[in-house]
Chains A and B, each alone.
Chain A
Amino acid sequence: MTVDTLLSARGLRLSFGAIPALAGVDVDLWPGEILAVVGESGSGKTTLLNVLCGRLAPDGGAVWYRDPSGRLADVHAMPAPTLRQLHRSDWGFVRQDPRESLRMGVSAGGNVGERLMAAGARHYGQIRATATEWLMRVEIDPARIDDLPRSFSGGMLQRLQIARTLATHPRLVFMDEPTGGLDVSVQARLLDLIRGLVRDLGIASVLVTHDLAVARLLAQRIAVMQRGLVVETGLTDQVLDDPRHPYTQLLVSSVLQA
């Protein structure tokens, strides 16, 4: 941990019955940086994400977050209101299935506006203007601001989720397979969009993905997980171009080259 580490986890352990989902994991994240957590299904990467963001309590270990005033806070020791406040302002969470985080019965504008209103925005005109601006940023026609997400395509839903998440300018965004269920052509557009937004806003992110190409495009650093352990970490090009752990070598060599 250094003086400017944004998020830091040490010795995270969590078992589901006899299965260790996390078997002693350390993570450090600095401001403005994207860390990709890769590995196959069941390697513990989504569990790690849920523990890092405070949704799931670990059996052992701790997660520290440095708030905007520079103080370090133990994520799992903070009171529920503080954690929820973090989740609706300083942090964001982008899920693989946008239907889990969007309100499907609320218009696109209302979805983007919710976090703003939760953060205290009380001017309808400004909320609407901000929502319009965000829809344009994620390439959704602002004329659809009053449409229900039901009528949106999968790619549009995911972009709407991103607009909703980023509208309050979070410093840290957790992403769980953000391009998971999408067509390849839609994926490229989304990746490029995330890449641009994250860079322009200086957002730090922990990105869980099983797709090494996604990690290569978005992340500065990679952590490779296998059976609840981080078996290799390093710069993205180091891990993908010079994999050293047997599991990483297997993972890299298993990717189809287009």
Chain B
Amino acid sequence: MRLVVDLNRCQGYAQCAFLAPDVFAMHGDESLLYRPEVEEDRREDMARAVAACPVQAIMVDANSPGGNPGSDREAGR
């Protein structure tokens, strides 16, 4: 699944880095580095990180019954 962090919003609270240190890591005192794509089975972890962010800066692929909306299947059309 894909994710992006709005780094204008990010204040470096690092809640995400505590919850999923292999995906989110502080780089220096205040910069956040993250992996923009993680395995699909991490969806629950990511949902926790999204919810824990005090400034709601993390966005992930929407969860829809039919799988990721607008993924490669759509691009091939």
- Answer whether A and B are interacting partners: no
Please give the residue numbers on chain A whose beta carbons come within 8 Å of chain B beta carbons, in ascending order.
none
Please give the residue numbers on chain B whose beta carbons come within 8 Å of chain A beta carbons, in ascending order.
none
